[in-house]
Structure 1
Amino acid sequence: MDYELLCSKVIAVTRLTGNFIRKESIGFDAKAIEFKGLNDLVSYVDKTAEKQLVRNLSKLLPDAGFTTEEETINSRGAVFNWIIDPLDGTTNFIHGVPTYSISIALYEDDQPVLGVVYEINRGEMFYTYKGGPAFLNNREIQVSERKSLSDCLLATGFPYYQFDKQANYMALLSEMMQKCHGLRRIGSAAVDLAYVACGRFDAFFEYNLNAWDVAAGAYLVQQAGGNILNFGGGDEFIEKREILATNAKVDKELLETIDRHFNL
């Protein structure tokens, strides 16, 4: 498999759908939204974008399966499987906040081999593939070199359902705020992870995320020299639905802080 060539084709597919999303953002009518659950929004843009991606990616690997957020298709491939979020940051999109992305990961035999995150409004294409480094618009990227939490800028997300751990999480955020340069909440986990990969953020943590939110971005972080962990320090971040992405230099401080509030 020529992963580099495949990645270039996935990038072309991603740009095509990104152009559609950008066009639809102009004059988008908020009345077009639907509710999948509490504070869980979707629109025709998400669904149409997903169908476009599935159709075009199927041409690249006809036998591959798909895990998709909007469930326009869900199938299991024997070897290859795509994990797709057609519009990560739907709430931002609906409210006109210009940070949202397309996230595409490819797994081969249950291991990541390709990841693409396209931040649409800034035109930033983050990508990586098996055997290669991580890139931002053709420029190789690496995680940051900061070694102390006190020098770091962190990113997180806030749960919009399943609030049973909210008190613990708020206590965790309170301590983190006092230990670092600041906390940011952009509203697209895929973008948060891409920013860790290129060194803008030094770490990102969140819980209650799904595979399509994190699969591509997590692989970007790993390929850029960072670590991907769950809140207990293990590697089952998708199964446990909790992720800590780091520059591999502040893991100990972050895990100790998380443990004080979350792993109770």
Structure 2
Amino acid sequence: MTEYADLLPAVVKAANRGAEFLMGGFDPGARPLDRNAIRAVAVHIEGGSRAAVREALDGLLPSAGWLDEDENGNDVPPGEWWIVDGAEGGVNYVYGLPEWAVTITLVRDGVPQLTVVRQPIGDLTYTAVKGAGAHLNGDPLRVSAKNDLRVAMVTASQAGNSPAVHARFGRAITTMLDNTLLVRNTIPTTFPILTVASGQHDVFFQYDPDLPGTAAGVLLATEAGGVATEISGAPWVPQSPDVLIAAPGLHAAAAKLLDSVQQP
């Protein structure tokens, strides 16, 4: 039993509280027509779900703070912090797609210790505690055993708002297409990492990653046997400018390939 394992049932309940709020307003037929409509729904669902999660977590771990991503960005101070995305994949939710979730991660001194990802569509609950493995609905997750990048299924998630990041991402996608079996780009961050943790995909990378999705995904993937670093090979930390998560037999080759396209 690891240090935080006893908290897991309560954190699952908190994630369910947020998911129940989201399900109450979910419309599979929604098709917003402009950015204002998208933003209005996204703000509403994120605020309502986070409030439900925070109420459920209140008092569970008095030593832990509540990280405000808008205020702190990816800067996680020392100590214990709850990092929550009340509507991970909000744009998918707004368009009636099923890939959205509530993510809750407990980080201590910058290292994810416990995470829950609750996807109500499909009744899927992903959990991980550092040192205790990763699970989907209680069943263990395990990353791919592949060791040949030429047959690798690669997944990525777009991020960043600058033309330079977009250009680098485009070069990386092209390079991966030329050297692997298949490349898939999707959002939000958490979902493609979940497919690496489950062995359905073999490699994931992202530039300018968002913290809630990456923190949850890093713990799930590494507890499933994967390797998570920056593309340079440096250890992943919340402030990392990019992230590479892969099966052990593919990580070094993927890092070398991506590192070759870091600059124009």
Deviates further, 20-29 or 211-220: 20-29
Counterpart-to-counterpart distance in 2, 1:29 and 1:54: 30
Q: Displacement, 1:247? A: 1.0
Could you tell me which residue of structure 2 aligns to residue 83 of structure 1? 83
Counterpart-to-counterpart distance in 2, 1:131 and 1:60: 21
Cα deviation per residue 1:201-224 (whole Å; 9 max; x = unaligned)?
111101112221211111111111
Task: Mark the runs of 5 or more structure 1 residues left unpaired by the alignment.
Answer: 36-40
Q: Displacement, 1:186? A: 2.7
Could you tell me which residue of structure 2 aligns to residue 261 of structure 1? 261
Root-mean-square deviation over aligned CA pairs: 2.6
Distance change (3 Å), C-alpha of 1:135 and 1:21: same
Could you tell me which residue of structure 1 aligns to residue 201 of structure 2? 201
Q: Displacement, 1:131? A: 3.2
Contact map agreement 1:32 1:43 (CA 8 A) in 2 = no
Identity %: 22
Contact map agreement 2:221 2:245 (CA 8 A) in 1 = yes
SS in 2 for 1:82: strand
Contact map agreement 1:135 1:141 (CA 8 A) in 2 = yes
Could you tell me which residue of structure 2 aligns to residue 145 of structure 1? 145
SS in 2 for 1:126: strand
**TM-score, normalised by the number of residues in structure 1:** 0.88
Q: Displacement, 1:62? A: 2.8
Counterpart-to-counterpart distance in 1, 2:90 and 2:188: 8
Q: Displacement, 1:175? A: 1.6
Q: Displacement, 1:176? A: 0.6
Contact map agreement 2:31 2:95 (CA 8 A) in 1 = no
Contact map agreement 1:63 1:77 (CA 8 A) in 2 = no
Contact map agreement 1:88 1:213 (CA 8 A) in 2 = yes
**Which of 34, 39, 42 is residue 39 of structure 2 equivalent to?**
34
Could you tell me which residue of structure 2 aligns to residue 23 of structure 1? 24
Which structure 2 residues correspond to residues 211-230 of structure 1 after superposition, within 5 A?
211-230=211-230
**TM-score, normalised by the number of residues in structure 2:** 0.88
Which structure 2 residues correspond to residues 1-264 of structure 1 after superposition, within 5 A?
3-26=4-27, 30=32, 32-34=37-39, 42-69=42-69, 79-159=79-159, 161-263=161-263
SS in 2 for 1:200: coil
Q: Displacement, 1:185? A: 2.2
Contact map agreement 1:101 1:188 (CA 8 A) in 2 = no
- The aligned amino acid for 1:12 is K
Counterpart-to-counterpart distance in 2, 1:263 and 1:233: 16
